[in-house]
Amino acid sequence: MLTYVTADVNCPNCFNQVIDTIRATPGVHSAAPHIDKGCIAINHDLDEADLLATITTVGHTLDIAPNGEVTMGQAHAASAQLCSEHEPQP
């Protein structure tokens, strides 16, 4: 099954960790990321909710606190009809 996922992981290192974790997950056949758009095309045999949970568990956002300090925040992920950077599969 092909699932397109959007994620607000805006830290490149965290995004790479998410991709590495997804690719190492049994049942995932491939993961094609696009960090600029925050989307990932994932070919898998898993429950979609499990994929989203992996992203939100491993991924983080970089946020600016009211005092100007950079902090890590909770990432969010959702399935999408199509990532703007990925072509539809035949």
Percent of all residues in the chain with a pLDDT value above 70, rounded to a whole number? 90
Least confident piece of the model among 30-34, 43-47, 49-53, 78-82: 78-82
pTM: 0.81
User: For residues 37 and 84, is the Cβ–Cβ distance under 8 A?
Assistant: yes
Average pLDDT, whole number, for the chain? 87
CA contacts within 13 A on the Cβ side of 26? 0
Place 89 in a pLDDT band, splitting at 50, 70 and 90. very low
